[in-house]
Amino acid sequence: MFETRPNRDAEVALVGRSNVGKSTLMRELTGHDFDTGGSPGVTREPNHYDWASEDFVITDLPGFGFMSGVDEDHREQIKTNIVHYLEEYAENVLVAVLVVDGKSVIDIIDRHSGPDEIPYDVEMFHFLRDLEIPVVVAVNKMDKVDDRDERLNELCDRLGLYPPWKQWQETIAPITAKQGQIEPLNEAVREHLHEQQRDDLFKFF
């Protein structure tokens, strides 16, 4: 189990596969550069970012799923640790941000959908909902996507949300973290914070 969490009550957690841009998004949100190590899956422990005067932390959980050079046992262990972390702190996590790569997410989901296989992203989305943690899916790298609405509608369909995506703007947030275009995510996160009477945290988003 990850033991590094600072003693903070409220939390926003970033989850997602390796290489979808979680660390870049974390940098955009916090203004702080984390050592991302350059190779996928290098974040094996969570990155936590907190503020001295605030009872609040933003956490970037390690990437799950395939990572080159990482054996399957280790991958499964990371996934188990992420699941345990989210279960343990479900009361504290006001919003979970599931980061996906807009360009490849549909292909990846479809490739791993079968009679006895649930794709990680879909599984994680429903797992978070089962924990009653509000989820925002940050669909990153949208600058590389041509058929934007179609792609986002397809993603809704795969997640079990009835398209069109535009009726799910508190759940589906198209962003390009590298270019600092994360306003749809900030708005969605604020929406969920507001529902939990935490407008005091708007300044972070």
pLDDT in tens, 141-182: 999 999 999 999 999 999 999 999 999 999 999 999 999 999
pLDDT at 118: 86
Residue 70 has what pLDDT? Answer: 75
Q: Cite the DSSP H helix spans in the chain.
A: 22-30, 72-88, 105-111, 120-130, 148-159, 183-195
Tens digit of pLDDT at every position of the chain (205 positions): 688 899 999 999 999 998 899 989 999 999 887 665 555 555 578 889 998 788 999 999 988 876 667 788 888 888 899 999 999 999 999 999 999 999 999 999 999 888 888 889 999 999 999 999 999 999 999 999 999 999 999 999 999 999 999 999 999 999 999 999 999 999 999 999 999 999 999 999 9
Distance CA 85, CA 3 (A): 9
pLDDT for residue 117: 84
The pTM (predicted TM-score) of the whole model is 0.94
Q: What is the pLDDT of residue 106?
A: 96
**Span 10-196: which CATH code?**
3.40.50.300
pLDDT of residue 38: 54
- What average pLDDT does the chain have? 91
* CA-wise closest residue to 100 among 120, 82, 81: 120
Helix axes 72-88, 120-130, angle to 10 degrees: 20
- Length of the chain (residues): 205
pLDDT of residue 173: 98
| CA dist., res. 43 & res. 45, Å (int) | 6
Q: How far is 136 from 190, CA to CA, in rounded Å?
A: 11
DSSP 7: S
Task: Give the number of other Cβ atoms within 10 Å of residue 138's Cβ.
Answer: 26
171 neighbors 188 (Cβ within 8 angstroms): yes
Burial (0-12, 13-18, 19+ Cβ within 10 Å), 82? buried
Supply the pLDDT for residue 164.
96
